[in-house]
Chains A and B, each alone.
Chain A
Amino acid sequence: MSALVDRYVEAVVTRVPKGQRVDIERELRASIADAVEMRVEGGEGGGEVEVLTEFGDPVRLAAGYADRPLRLIGPEVYLDYTRLLTALVVTVVPGVAVAVGLMRALSDKTFVVESLTAALHTTVHIGFWTTLVFALISCKPRSWAPEKLPAKPTRRARYTELVTQTAITVWFVAFLLYAREWLDPRFNSVLYLFMALVIATLGFSFAAHYARWSIPLAVARAATEVACSTILLWLASTDHVVKAGVWEPDLVNAVHTGLTILACVSYLHTVIEGVKAAQQR
């Protein structure tokens, strides 16, 4: 076997699942050797180069062996993916850039560089996480039947809801991260937990949209929502959201009252959605 064949076989087997490598390599080498031999015997001339050209791109051959698609985002979610990505980049990135710019300008710092850096970071994060989520949704083959068509409100409307929720979540998390220095130490101590819960809530919304509705999923979703609201309510009711001395006391009181109301509304929303979903099934 020449070095060329070695290189070809290597290029194929490194791209197939580990457990099949030895067997595929053995068979592939035999097949290539057979083909070369036949060419020589038949007096067709040429040899390995022609045979390997016929076998074609090793990446494609490996994809055939591995029996997996050559793509990250499947056609069934591709449009949703581009729509969400566009919506997030268009709404969140300028928002973060302006907010960070304003915050820095207020504290007399150079705001142009800060604002551009924040915009760039946000774009990279949005791109990465959105792609990751959709790639995960894509790896799972989906079965479909007409009865899975959603009742009203239409899927498009629910998708818009999902996009809006995503934009608000990303915006909210970005804001919390950039405003960390203004937050109360107690809020800061649970900040990552809180953000993880907020992001988990969003994850469950995606799951509810793309996966089958199930009781464990619905319960987990409700539990994370309740946990988020509870943390918020606990911080707001004990005056531990904003660091003391940053804003006027009146404004801080207003923020706390607002957040308390928000947490209560969120509880109510969780219950209503839960009951509605249970009725629809």
Chain B
Amino acid sequence: MATHLQELRRGTVVLACLLVLREANYGYALLEVLERRGFAVDANTLYPLLRRLEKQGLLVSEWNTDESRPRKFYRTSEAGGVMAGELARDWVGLDLAFRGLKGEL
């Protein structure tokens, strides 16, 4: 069961990140936001994921050294916004398709 849930949720974290990070935020705070909004994700999955998305140009990052602890802030790039739109549309499509399968439509 746990494995299937994990498999199902894997891609949704990417979309959730791209949506949350339309407002710049740093790793740990993002982890908290995601959890509060119902996207449970492990730290050791999220941090490498942020770097991968940055490498792919979907996120941009900037070090903020204003506070006592320097933090790396990520923000969704233009390309990331476009990607988020596409992924979100796909998600709606999938939801519709599932409802069709369950006979709700």
Chain A residues packing against B (C-beta within 8 Å): 20, 23-24, 26-28, 30-31, 33-35, 38, 54-56, 60-61, 64-65, 67
Taking the closest CB of chain B, its distance from the CB of A52, in whole angstroms, is 10
- A-side contacts of B71, CB under 8 Å: 27, 30, 34
How far does the alpha carbon of A61 sit from the alpha carbon of B104 in the complex, in Å? Answer: 42
Contact B44 A34 (CB under 8 A): no
**Contacting pair B69 A33 (CB below 8 A):** yes
Task: Give the chain B neighbours of A56 by CB distance below 8 A.
Answer: 42-44
Is B26 engaged at the interface, CB distance under 8 Å to the other chain? yes
Q: A30-B27, A61-B44 are in contact. List 12 more A-B contacts (CB 8 A).
A: A20-B51, A26-B72, A27-B47, A30-B26, A31-B28, A31-B47, A38-B28, A54-B42, A54-B44, A60-B44, A67-B48, A67-B55
Whether B43 contacts A35 by the Cβ 8 Å rule is yes
Alpha-carbon distance between A65 and B71 when the two chains are bound, in angstroms: 17
Given the complex, which residues of A lie within 8 Å of B43, measured CB to CB? 31, 35, 54-56
Main secondary structure of the interface of B (DSSP, over half): helix
Given known contacts A26-B70, A33-B69, A56-B42, A61 and B48 CB-to-CB distance under 8 angstroms: yes
A65 & B51 in contact (Cβ 8 Å cutoff): yes
In chain B, positions 34-67 with a C-beta closer than 8 Å to chain A are 42-45, 47-49, 51-52, 55, 63
Q: Which of A23, A27, A33, A61 has the most CB of B within 10 A?
A: A27
The CA of A20 and the CA of B61, in the complex, are separated in Å by 14
Q: Contact partner of B47 among A20, A28, A33, A38, CB < 8 A?
A: A28
Contact A27 B48 (CB under 8 A): no
How many angstroms between the C-alpha atoms of A54 and B43 in the bound complex? 7
Residue in B26, B29, B44, B51 whose Cβ sees the most chain A Cβ within 10 Å? B44
B residues less than 8 Å from A24 (CB atoms):
51
Q: How many A-B residue pairs have CB under 8 A?
A: 57
B70 touches which of A30, A35, A60, A67 (Cβ 8 Å): A30
Give the distance in Å from the alpha carbon of A61 to the alpha carbon of B28 in the complex: 16
The answer for the CA separation of A103 and B47 in the assembled complex, in Å, is: 62
Taken together as a complex, chains A and B put the C-alpha atoms of A110 and B69 apart, in Å, by 73
Given the interface contacts A31-B28, A31-B43, does A64 sit within 8 Å of B72 by beta carbon? Answer: no
For A26, A56, A60, A64, which residue has the most chain B Cβ atoms within 10 angstroms? A64
Can you report 27 A-B residue pairs in the complex whose CB atoms are below 8 A from each other? A27-B27, A27-B47, A27-B71, A30-B26, A30-B70, A30-B71, A31-B27, A31-B28, A31-B47, A34-B26, A34-B27, A34-B28, A34-B29, A34-B71, A35-B43, A54-B42, A54-B43, A54-B44, A55-B43, A56-B43, A60-B44, A64-B47, A64-B49, A65-B47, A65-B48, A67-B48, A67-B51
Chain A residues within an 8 Å CB radius of B55: 67
A202 to B70, CA, bound (A): 55
Query: Top 5 closest A-B pairs, CB basis?
Result: A64-B48, A34-B28, A56-B44, A27-B72, A31-B27
Nearest-Cβ distance from residue A40 to partner chain B, whole angstroms = 14
Inter-chain contacts of B45 with A (CB < 8 A): 64
Closest partner residue, chain B, to A57 (CB atom): B44
